[in-house]
Amino acid sequence: MTAPLPSRDPLTPPLLDAQGRTMTYLRLSVTDRCNFRCTYCSPASWGGKKDLLTPEEFERIVSVFARMGIRRVRLTGGEPLIRPDILEVAQRIAAVPGVEWLAITTNASHLERLAVPLREAGVTQLNISLDTLSEDTFRRISKQGDFASTLRGIDAAAAAGYASLKLNTVAMSGVNDTEVAALIAYAHARGLTPRFIELMPFGQGTPVPTAELVKRLQDTGLSLVPDEAQRGPAAGPAQYWRAPGGLVGFISPLTQNFCGGCNRVRVASNGDLRSCLGGRAQAPLHTLIRGGATDSELALAIRQALGEKPEGHRFTEPGTRTALLSMMGIGG
């Protein structure tokens, strides 16, 4: 199915994909480089894109999307905070009319310095990646990362007064799957909501199904009750359970496919629009911008790309792994 292109101004909401789903959430990669290079995200061969967008170009793209109905923006990477101009990028995007919520996904290694300035720049929420509380396991996952700076950054974020903080853990069999209960306690003690993500087929490792993780936790005596109030577009793909210390989220792209409710579109750090995390349909927004395209022409290109967005990903199909870009290259 292909979404019909509008007969009216393509900037006019709503922004629909080929399945008729309304897009309200933009994931915008600001760099595809990272100072950690985790095994499940970044292949050793990844060299990165050479021509990244400028703060002004990010602002232009977000402005067009906002006029089309995008209300939530997340800055991703790579590691967004390694950009020396990340505060300018955040300030520009937070000030775009129509943007109601701005989040960043980060490994926390620069948060000791940037947690407060980012909040002051207009960032609403931080999603912090932490896969282990063991330095040895951390080194196994990321040989280049700085474990101590990550923990200091998390503490700085917890003290900075954010409206929402989430701790994201990719659960990997035989690597960190025995630490789930400890990570929940660690997050709740600092006011963060822990979330456990099934490993997707972008790099190394073996996933742990969500149902298995939940059962393991319940077998240890931890009370987990599904929280039906934490549903809908604002909650994203996570399913939340209530534990004694707070909410616990599980994101299950493999075993509990959530594509039917997808409301997001992705733009890579060089301006390539990707209609789906697991697809290859794209539009070169950077080429259009630098070629003098009008906002309406950008909007039409966006709609054409979303007209090729599939019904869902194909992560579980044979041979999928070899056809996908790395998570780092897509922007998460």
Tens of pLDDT, residue by residue over 267-310, are 999 999 987 766 666 799 999 999 999 999 999 999 999 998 87
Check: CB of residue 316 under 8 Å from CB of residue 254.
Answer: yes
Q: Which domain holds residue 217?
A: 25-325
Query: Closest by alpha carbon to 168, among 101, 237, 116, 264?
Result: 237
Check: CB of residue 100 under 8 Å from CB of residue 122.
Answer: no
> For position 278, what pLDDT does the model report?
60
Q: How many structural domains compose the chain? A: 1
- Residue 1 in any domain: the answer is no
d(CA 275, CA 331) in angstroms, rounded, equals: 12
Q: Is 318's pLDDT higher than 90?
A: no
Q: Is 329's pLDDT higher than 60?
A: no
> For position 148, what pLDDT does the model report?
97
CATH number at residue 210: 3.20.20.70
Check: CB of residue 312 under 8 Å from CB of residue 21.
Answer: no
Q: Between the CA of residue 29 and those of 6, 62, 171, 190, what are the distances in Å?
A: 28, 12, 23, 27
> Band of the pLDDT at 324, cuts 50, 70, 90?
very low
Question: Residue 300 is encoded by which pair of tokens?
Answer: 């039409």
- Residue 311 in any domain: the answer is yes
Q: Is 262's pLDDT higher than 90?
A: no
- Residue 274 in any domain: the answer is yes
> For position 323, what pLDDT does the model report?
46
Q: Which strands sit side by side in the sheet containing 25-29, from one edge to the other?
A: 225-226, 239-243, 246-251, 193-198, 164-171, 125-129, 101-106, 72-76, 25-29, 264-267, 272-274, 282-284
Q: Is 244's pLDDT higher than 90?
A: yes
d(CA 91, CA 104) in angstroms, rounded, equals: 12
- Residue 2 in any domain: the answer is no
pTM over 0.85: yes
Buried b / exposed e over 165-176, threshold 16 CB at 10 Å, is bbbbbbbbeebb
Q: Is 241's pLDDT higher than 80?
A: yes
d(CA 253, CA 104) in angstroms, rounded, equals: 21
pLDDT in tens, 6-48: 557 999 999 999 889 999 999 999 999 999 978 888 655 555 6
Stretch 52-71: mean pLDDT: 98
- Residue 20 in any domain: the answer is no
- Residue 7 in any domain: the answer is no
Strand 239-243, strand 225-226: pairing:
antiparallel
Check: CB of residue 177 under 8 Å from CB of residue 208.
Answer: yes
> For position 168, what pLDDT does the model report?
98
pLDDT above 90 covers what percent of the chain? 72
d(CA 210, CA 214) in angstroms, rounded, equals: 6
pLDDT in tens, 111-148: 999 999 999 999 999 999 999 999 999 999 998 889 99
> For position 328, what pLDDT does the model report?
52
Work out the mean pLDDT of the chain and round it to a whole number.
Answer: 88
d(CA 154, CA 111) in angstroms, rounded, equals: 7
pLDDT in tens, 144-203: 889 999 999 999 999 999 999 999 999 999 999 999 999 999 999 999 999 999 997 766
- Residue 223 in any domain: the answer is yes
> Band of the pLDDT at 248, cuts 50, 70, 90?
very high
pLDDT in tens, 89-119: 999 999 999 999 999 999 999 999 999 999 9
> For position 45, what pLDDT does the model report?
54
- Residue 39 in any domain: the answer is yes
The per-residue DSSP string of 255-293 comes to TS--GGG--EEEE-TTSEEES-TT---EEEHHHHHHTT-
